[in-house]
A and B are shown apart, each in its own frame.
Chain A
Amino acid sequence: MPSKKNTAAQAAPVPVEENTPAPANGKEQQEKSKANEPLLHLIVFKLGAEYYGIKIEQVKEVTVTPSITRMPRTPDFVKGVANIRGDIIAIMDLEERFGIKPVPASSENGITYTLVIEAKEYSIGVVVKEVPQSLNLSVSKMDKAPSFLQDIAVQENYIEGLAKVDNRLIIVLDMYKILSGDEIKQLSS
């Protein structure tokens, strides 16, 4: 199947504010960081009550969630498949996946957004309820996940780190690890 690697963030109907800092991301954030320090570019979204971030390299595009065809007899976190520009991709519900209690949607029109994630071996869509934001921060703003999180987390080490920006805590996810081998097996059983 021809992959469309170059469409990343290119034709997304929802404006991903790549250059405009998200509201809470004060401009001084960037100014404070040393000029030559590498920057981390995240797409930030909300799951439950917390903020989560994915590195922009792993996000192929952001779009209004298209109509999803349910796939019976798949795990609950698989919402189904959707046709995104001719590619049929799996749509995942990360709240379901992480066992996060959903917070009632704030958007009254019922529109949700889908981040199309390109991981090493697969593409998946992740549904979020609010418009995802773009955020730049210096790498030093991100701490590795606390060790106890990593310990208990047997297969849960998809948390790459915690970023503190103003008063927000952003949980940075490693999308390459979001589907563990066990879950792929669960899919097939």
Chain B
Amino acid sequence: MKSREQEYKEIFIAEALEYFDALNRHISDLEKRPQEDKLLAEIFRLLHNLKANAKAIGYLRISDVSHKLETAFSLIRNKELQFSDEIVTVLFEGVDLLGELIHNIDNENYGEPDPVLLRNLDIIVDNLSDSTIELAKVQRYNPTKNLSLSELVYIQIKKLDHLLNLVGELVIDRDRILSISRELGNDELKSVSSHLNRITEELQYSIMDARLVSIGSLFNKFPRIVRDIAIAEKKEVDLALSGHDIQIDRNILQIITDSLLHLVRNAITHGIEKPEQREKKGKSRTGKLSLVARNDRENVQIQLSDDGNGIDLVQVRKAIVERNFLSTAAVEHLPPTEVLSYLFEPGFSLAKEVTEFSGRGVGLDVVKNAVDAIGGRIWVESEKGLGTTFILQLPTSIAVKGALLFEVDSIFYAIPLIHTEQVVAMEVSELHEVGGVLVADVFGETITVVYLHELLNVKEREMNLGDKSRLKGLVQNIIIVSYNNRKLGLIVDKLYRQQDIVVKPLSKPLDAIDLYGGVTLLGSGNVCLVLDVPAVTRYFISRRQLVAAE
């Protein structure tokens, strides 16, 4: 795999060559129609971009020549310089020189550019009226000039989506073929299928790789946004960015863009205090905002921290009761992480004032839905007076997910690993019936446990989630899932293995059923339902509330 730097360089060269081709075209046109402002503007733009790109990546010679040419064209544009034959020749030479420099970026033996040409350029740029351009030396024709096409192609994300879908189908068929070949035990088939296996895997990862973009492409938009919001809010904010190079699927980045923007707005309008207030609290006038991306196992974690007000747990607890989520008694014993998780409930907002940038009724629940939709997780940590941190955990790729396979009532299910915390086996005697549900002590933590068969298959009228006697067998396999800072243990009939699965979204009309995030086909050809942990958790909560209401 190529290094980032190498990749950037290739992108620069490809772009630069494109600019070079466009420059040649426009400058030839300009020679015929010297009065056309549009052409001049376009040439100007191309040179300017080339200069900036070259400077950014450290090719100073290219940026220098571009700069000189840019200046020359700006003189022509301002009518301070005539687009005369002499000058045209020098400018063509200049553009050629650019091409030569771009082609020879890697060539260490490439000497210095022609000093005469450089001087001629200088003469034009410095607008020395006594024309001393040495034409004789400038007139040359480079017969070694090759025609070459760009090393890069642009591709619509739609086409990559299609490729990814096809590979998804291929992976499913591959699994099926592998499993058939194991059953048949034919050596030739075995060797072909193992080759197919390798190729498919490589194809899959290549396509996933082609869809990756660096998070920097999103992060780089934030300094300006933060500045604008800060000014509107009369606040002083310093934004620190890190982890630009972390790679993530382009569509995932697209989906969380609005969410991240929303969180940043919130942090500035509701988190960070006005400079005077900060000083009173003994903080620096300027608030600190940091946006950090890092790889976390197979996922990408994005962390947004501010050093502002923090979230007042007392207020949140009060709001939970006011909005009838929980009773006063229940709220008191709620651990802080769970209290904070209520911030993501629909209709739960602490913002009192509506400002230009925040508090337009779009709450954290919308952010959460977006993160849920791509199979990610979000949670918040906060300390009153010290600041708030939002953490988004996102899959690197949409297509393939690590998942845990299991069986309930002879149906195969999968749960994406991003939602699983741990798997434990427990005897029935370790489960306790408390307040209409089952609870278990898992490494010192009391966790609510639910028998999935009861939750999914028993008629709603006859459902009893707090009845231990409905469990089959002595030892229960429990998958502990976590959603919105709340843990829930799911008792399953049979636990299988961990496996990378390709999730196929459910097609209409089944896509309306939110209990399932999709389906996948197992090697055996069986359909396996992918449970949507957020929806299962919500369903469990709604059942409990119904029971409590009766």
Contacts and interface: CB of A to CB of B under 8 A. Distances in A.
A73 B508 contact: no
A185 to B, nearest CB: 7
Nearest to B518: A88
Interface stretch (B429-437, B475-483, B524-532): B524-532
Nearest to B520: A88
A83 B508 contact: no
Q: Give the interface SS of chain B, mostly helix, strand, loop or mixed.
A: mixed
Nearest to A73: B515
Contacts of B162: 2
Contact of A81 (B173, B457, B519, B539): B519
Contacts of B508: 121-123
A2 B165 contact: yes
Contact of B510 (A1, A67, A90, A185): A90
Interface in B354-406: none
Contacts of B173: 86
Given A71-B516, A72-B457, A187-B512, A89 B527 contact: no
B513 interface: yes
Contacts of A184: 509, 512
Contacts of B505: 1
Interface in A37-57: none
Contacts of B529: 69, 71, 81
Contact of A1 (B457, B507, B539): B507
A7 interface: no
B509 A73 contact: no
B442 interface: no
A78 B521 CA distance: 19
B509 to A, nearest CB: 5
Given A71-B516, A82-B527, A90 B509 contact: yes
A187 B527 contact: no
Contact of A124 (B504, B509, B516, B525): B509
Contacts of B527: 69, 81-83, 88
Contacts of B135: none
**10 A-B pairs closest in CB distance:** A122-B508, A188-B512, A72-B456, A69-B527, A187-B512, A90-B510, A122-B509, A121-B508, A88-B519, A184-B509
23 contacts: A2-B169, A69-B526, A69-B528, A71-B529, A72-B411, A72-B456, A72-B457, A74-B510, A78-B510, A81-B506, A81-B510, A81-B527, A83-B521, A86-B521, A87-B507, A88-B506, A88-B521, A121-B508, A122-B509, A187-B512, A187-B513, A188-B512, A188-B513
Given A86-B521, A187-B513, 16 more contacts: A1-B505, A2-B162, A69-B412, A71-B513, A72-B411, A73-B515, A74-B513, A81-B527, A83-B527, A88-B519, A88-B527, A90-B507, A90-B509, A90-B510, A122-B509, A184-B512
